[in-house]
Structure 1
């Protein structure tokens, strides 16, 4: 699954084409125009003098107008560009570190850069009529003036009659209130968004070299902490710059409090935070059901304060992603949603129908060629969010200590997809033992070659799935492991250990 944390600038709205000028004169080659059937046939309109010049450029000499879409640059320093597109976890024959996370899958995060400006093409114009002539040309002008006067009288009379009869014969129905006075019932999308949107921010992260991107975050507490994704702020962790902009346009400088690369969660804090911050209410992601309504808020492709809706498409979806650095992978047992999520939505809240945060939008499934052609990947209805129960625990640890804490079993597992479960490797990373001596797995009797097929009641089909499930727990939790050894199924219980930090 590919993660995303940036967007593109938005082209200005096009101006409307100017109103056309007076209609052009009739072509000069019409020697004998047809008589008007509505006038006396014995008094035809005089023809246009043959020496009258042609009207240049009439009906078609003006240029066609059209909109120009913004262009996208990739990875340009100084703009909202960043690193490459991440991909799904790939199989690996090498053994991961027993303390986890295992070596990451390849890939990176897609980034967009600057944008061009759209607008109308050449202005819409008609050529001015040719010079006036004397003689019968004057008669033609007089007839036209008379017709205009008659038309004006008729139009005025029609307006007066319509106005006088409006109160008695009109069948239209007018709204009793204007848009600003309409009351949205609690639970409607509009009501939920009106309450939640002021507590979301658009985050701009920039590294010391000028590279960066755009993502989203939301108010976590009244002390000015903002929850978001690690890959949104990764560029600014070491000497970079961060800012957070609220929907009302107020912008604050910020700093990274802590980041957890494995969980893909980070917390930043606003400098000079306002005193009236309203944290979003955190829901219970364990109680979410497939089919529940969802609302996502973010800045897709730099379009801040964008709201999309959908449903929970699946739960406990194993997802492995990367921030593009290639150092480690992020694993989650994700909430899947079909709410439109694009690059720039990362770190934003996924809300339920009551406005409670049930997840942090983190990753999208993208096609291998970026969706269409070679452009950046966009939403195909497969978005993934970190369950808020997990993200809440991680964020609180980051605020307390600045470092993440991971649950672990103390064994290295294969990342291959065809093992029928999470197979404990014969050897750990760097020549270390695959099962930590004295660790949780060792105490539970697990050995190299065992294939873990279930953790409690969750089916485990691969190493990444096991990691994601373990990380939904806290260190000290007791879990039941089902595994196969020599073709026979066994169960054992173990107490999860702890590892502090990403390294």
Structure 2
């Protein structure tokens, strides 16, 4: 039994889109051969393709791949795939533009990535110019050299007392543990702690103190490796000499400041808080512009060879404000610091270490501290009805009388009672002293030898 086959003529193929069909004629003008697969009835008109009709022309539709040719599965004729033919100019231009844009984007992305990578590498490898490591030593006469020499011998004092806690400075005098500081730092102290530049802290005891010179000596025990500071000579100090101050301003230990000597022989008084004048200090001071603040008191003022030439004791604050909102005094440095000359401090410290107290040189008179004229006037009477010029006193032996006005000391003019005391205390008991007095409108030159009075 023979197989029954359907008709051999396949159904007509759908018309290929125009972008896939060949040109209608050959380049020589003749008709192009028809390569379509024959339909079921040769010459019969094929039915229109509904899908193609509905979709409309595909001239402007861009596809990534050409559609597969349609064929009749019952046909035995060989399948012929139409040639794509030459590409249309519009499509090629769009392709070129797309390729160019892609290349540009790719190049931009690669460039950006390389830029970021280069920036990261340059940032991690950035090195600014810098000086190399240098020797740590400094010239002995430089501020750093002076500080390095002196700091091991400077101490910070923390004082607890009835009036509260306070901070001051001192420096080592000898290997036995004696430390010099200001009287007002340790006055009324109940407990004193001394801290060295190494950070070691020990307790200290008061050896003796003198309110008139604002000096005191404390002592520590059991401390090894003490570094006493060298003492200079305040008589050698000249205005303009460079100086270095070391202290603990506002409890900032081991603070170093520098400046110059602004003046010498500057008469100052400090203290007097008790009201009876017993705690007033009279100092023929060295003036410096090296910054000195609360807490520097008792610290050393050093010359260019790291030798002590003064003991920092007082500062001058700003004047009282013009209204109630202004502070009465500026508490910090305004460049007016005052130090006790080391020659005076050395004598007082030696006496305190030997005897526990110091002596004061005196001329043996009672001064009229209410006198407002120029000079220091000798009073009419002394304390408790005693004579203003006691018999046998140095002043009496020199011929000074009540009512005399002392206008010069060793040829230097004095302008008041405080200044006369300061000039006298710049000397030692037993020193000769020349005075110029004004009596009955005439000046007289007198000589005397200073007496001694205990500070206690």
TM-score, with length taken from structure 2: 0.71
Q: How big is each residue's C-alpha offset from its partner over 1:67-119, in whole Å with a ceiling of 9 and x where there is no partner?
A: xxxxxxxxxxxxxxxxxxxxxxxxxxxxxxxxxxxxxxxxxxxxxxxxxxxxx
Pairwise CA distance, 1:252: 1.0
Structure 1's 155 and 320: CA in aligned 2 closer, same or farther, altered over 3 A? same
Q: How big is each residue's C-alpha offset from its partner over 1:153-195, in whole Å with a ceiling of 9 and x where there is no partner?
A: 423324557999x9xxx9x6432315xx333112110111011
Point out where structure 1 has 5 or more consecutive residues left out of the alignment. 1-146
Of structures 1 and 2, the one scoring higher in RCO (CA 8 A, sep 6+) is: 1
Find the counterpart in structure 2 of residue 477 from structure 1.
431
Find the counterpart in structure 2 of residue 126 from structure 1.
none
Find the counterpart in structure 1 of residue 350 from structure 2.
396
Q: Distance between the aligned counterparts of 1:149 and 1:257, measured in 2?
A: 83
Instruction: From 309, 317, 339, give the equivalent of 2:266.
Output: 317
Paired residues of 1:322 and 1:330 also in contact (CA < 8 A): yes
Q: Distance between the aligned counterparts of 2:111 and 2:149, measured in 1?
A: 58
Pairwise CA distance, 1:457: 2.7
Paired residues of 2:168 and 2:296 also in contact (CA < 8 A): yes
Q: Match of 2:437, SS?
A: strand
- After superposition, residues 37-436 of structure 1 pair within 5 angstroms as 153-158=114-119, 160=121, 173-177=129-133, 181-207=135-161, 209=162, 211-236=164-189, 240-272=190-222, 274-322=223-271, 324-327=273-276, 328=278, 329-369=280-320, 373=327, 377-416=331-370, 418-436=372-390
Structure 1's 493 and 307: CA in aligned 2 closer, same or farther, altered over 3 A? same
Structure 1's 270 and 281: CA in aligned 2 closer, same or farther, altered over 3 A? same
Q: How big is each residue's C-alpha offset from its partner over 1:18-49, in whole Å with a ceiling of 9 and x where there is no partner?
A: xxxxxxxxxxxxxxxxxxxxxxxxxxxxxxxx
Paired residues of 2:411 and 2:435 also in contact (CA < 8 A): no
Paired residues of 2:411 and 2:436 also in contact (CA < 8 A): no
Find the counterpart in structure 1 of residue 87 from structure 2.
none
Pairwise CA distance, 1:461: 1.2
Paired residues of 2:317 and 2:330 also in contact (CA < 8 A): no
Paired residues of 2:233 and 2:309 also in contact (CA < 8 A): yes
TM-score, with length taken from structure 1: 0.65
Find the counterpart in structure 1 of residue 15 from structure 2.
none
Pairwise CA distance, 1:436: 1.6
Q: Match of 1:301, SS?
A: helix
Find the counterpart in structure 2 of residue 80 from structure 1.
none
Paired residues of 1:370 and 1:377 also in contact (CA < 8 A): no
Higher-helix-fraction structure: 2
Q: Distance between the aligned counterparts of 1:186 and 1:335, measured in 2?
A: 23
Find the counterpart in structure 2 of residue 70 from structure 1.
none
Q: Match of 1:466, SS?
A: helix
Structure 1's 333 and 194: CA in aligned 2 closer, same or farther, altered over 3 A? same
Point out where structure 2 has 5 or more consecutive residues left out of the alignment. 1-107
Q: Distance between the aligned counterparts of 1:301 and 1:210, measured in 2?
A: 17
Structure 1's 201 and 325: CA in aligned 2 closer, same or farther, altered over 3 A? farther
Q: Distance between the aligned counterparts of 2:331 and 2:236, measured in 1?
A: 31
Q: Distance between the aligned counterparts of 1:350 and 1:415, measured in 2?
A: 32
Paired residues of 1:298 and 1:346 also in contact (CA < 8 A): yes
Paired residues of 2:405 and 2:439 also in contact (CA < 8 A): yes
Structure 1's 375 and 467: CA in aligned 2 closer, same or farther, altered over 3 A? closer
Q: Distance between the aligned counterparts of 2:187 and 2:288, measured in 1?
A: 25
Pairwise CA distance, 1:275: 2.2
Residues matched between the structures, number: 345
Structure 1's 497 and 183: CA in aligned 2 closer, same or farther, altered over 3 A? same
Paired residues of 1:370 and 1:376 also in contact (CA < 8 A): no
Find the counterpart in structure 2 of residue 58 from structure 1.
none
Q: How big is each residue's C-alpha offset from its partner over 1:368-408, in whole Å with a ceiling of 9 and x where there is no partner?
A: 44896367622111111100000000000000000111100
The RMSD of aligned alpha carbons is: 2.5
